[in-house]
């Protein structure tokens, strides 16, 4: 049935994409929005098609099969009951890193200049600290203190942002230049800025606002409650976690050979199962007060520029 539906639907362009930022609640927002009957998305945590050259060069038809073929609805909008025929089908994606690269955002623009983009913004010190523990959990970060990782960030980025993007704690918490570029490229009416605090306080209102913006039934109320991709676990063995992350890297030839034999949905479930097996409950310690103060001072001018750009209050000054 899905194959027949795909033939009738064609390779639909993405019409809604969450493009940032990491550790700001994007996984929860994706799953809340995906409850809408007129929205379908990928099972994978991130769609890396625009981000990864090796995927992008294979073309969108390949990416459509990889990410969205199994997510198609059972019926097209015009095949539904007369009561529901006003609805339009929407395809949604997420990648929290793409906003930081103008070149990658250009790929998205060329894919669909009329796409709607959602940017979630979290207070930058909290985002950076949360990203550090997330990188530790996933095996990308091997330095044992946040302060060591901050000191290593500049020399790491000299090797390239793409290589060290998961460990770019300061860099990825500077929002102003990236938000400015996205607004200029796509237009204010298609870029929707949401603060993490708003998502926490009233996720249903946030979702219904996005539904209204993209032209689907805004009366639909998603079930809110479960948070996704939280930072409340750590690997039982960080060494195993690091080795498993290296094995899962896209450039690993063994991993690429195995993936040719295993369907994407099965591979994703296996990866998740292995990661869950190696996890234990964990509560990160509070950030050191001096580090908090230094980072707050570092981000403050960027926050002021962003507040002026958006003409809205963001986070209280230190």
Give mean pLDDT, residues 191-217: 96
Stretch 179-207: mean pLDDT, rounded?
96
Mean pLDDT of 146-175: 97
Identify the pLDDT of residue 52: 96
Q: Which domains does the chain have, with CATH numbers?
A: 2-232+283-310 (3.40.50.300)
pTM of this prediction exceeds 0.85: no
Per-residue confidence (pLDDT) for residue 225, from 0 to 100: 78
Span 106-121, pLDDT tens digits: 999 999 999 999 999 9
Q: What is the mean pLDDT of the segment spanning 293-308?
A: 97
Spatial separation of the C-alpha atoms in residues 272 and 37, rounded to whole Å:
26
Q: Would you give the DSSP letter of residue 139?
A: T
**What does the pLDDT look like over 252-277, one tens digit per residue?**
566 556 656 666 666 656 765 765 65
pLDDT higher than threshold 50 for residue 132: yes
More confident residue, 242 or 28: 28
Q: CB under 8 Å to 119, separation ≥6 — which residues?
A: 18, 19, 20, 21, 99, 179, 182, 191, 192, 193, 194
Question: Could you tell me where the DSSP H helices lie in the chain?
Answer: 2-9, 26-33, 53-56, 60-67, 102-111, 124-138, 146-159, 161-164, 176-186, 196-201, 203-214, 238-248, 253-259, 264-277, 289-310
pLDDT mean over 212-229:
85
Q: What is the pLDDT of residue 281?
A: 75
pLDDT of residue 77: 47
Predicted local confidence at residue 89, as pLDDT: 75
- Compare 40 and 9 and report the one with higher pLDDT: 40
- Identify the residue with better confidence: 281 or 221: 221
Model pLDDT, residue 318: 47
Each residue's pLDDT tens digit, 36-88: 999 999 989 999 999 999 999 999 989 998 898 776 654 444 444 443 433 45
Give CA–CA dist 210/164, Å, rounded.
32
Inform me whether the pLDDT recorded for 2 exceeds 70.
Answer: no
Percent of the chain with pLDDT over 70: 73
Q: What is the pLDDT of residue 68?
A: 86
Instruction: Region of 16 please: left (phi>0), alpha (psi -120 to 50) or beta.
Output: beta
Residue 87 confidence (pLDDT): 42
């Amino acid at each position: 049935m899905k194959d027949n539906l795909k033939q009738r639907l064609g390779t639909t362009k993405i019409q809604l994409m969450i493009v940032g930022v990491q550790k700001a609640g994007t996984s929860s927002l994706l799953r809340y929005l995906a409850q809408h009957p007129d929205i379908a998305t990928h099972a994978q945590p991130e769609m890396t098609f625009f981000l990864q050259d090796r995927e992008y060069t294979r073309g969108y038809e390949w990416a459509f099969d990889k990410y969205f073929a199994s997510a198609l609805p059972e019926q097209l909008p015009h095949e539904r009951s007369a009561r529901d025929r006003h609805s339009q089908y929407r395809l949604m994606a997420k990648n929290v890193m793409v906003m930081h690269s103008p070149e990658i955002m250009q790929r998205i623009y060329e894919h669909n200049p009329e796409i709607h983009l959602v940017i979630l913004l979290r207070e930058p010190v909290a985002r950076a600290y949360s990203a550090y523990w997330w990188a530790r959990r996933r095996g990308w970060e091997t330095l044992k203190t946040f302060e060591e990782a901050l000191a290593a960030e500049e020399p790491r980025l000299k090797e390239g942002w793409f290589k060290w993007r998961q460990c770019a704690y300061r860099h990825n918490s500077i929002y102003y230049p990236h938000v400015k570029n996205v607004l200029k490229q796509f237009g204010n009416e298609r870029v929707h800025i949401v603060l993490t605090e708003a998502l926490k306080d009233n996720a249903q209102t946030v979702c219904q606002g996005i539904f209204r913006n993209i032209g689907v039934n805004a009366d639909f109320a998603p079930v809110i409650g479960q948070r996704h991709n939280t930072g409340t676990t750590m690997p039982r063995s960080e060494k195993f976690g690091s080795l498993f992350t290296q094995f899962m890297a896209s450039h690993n030839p063994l991993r690429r050979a195995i993936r040719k034999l295993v369907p994407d949905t099965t591979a994703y479930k296996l990866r998740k199962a292995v990661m869950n097996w190696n996890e234990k409950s964990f509560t990160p310690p509070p950030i050191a007060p001096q580090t908090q103060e230094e980072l707050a001072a570092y981000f403050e001018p960027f926050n002021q520029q962003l507040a002026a750009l958006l003409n809205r209050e963001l986070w209280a000054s230190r």
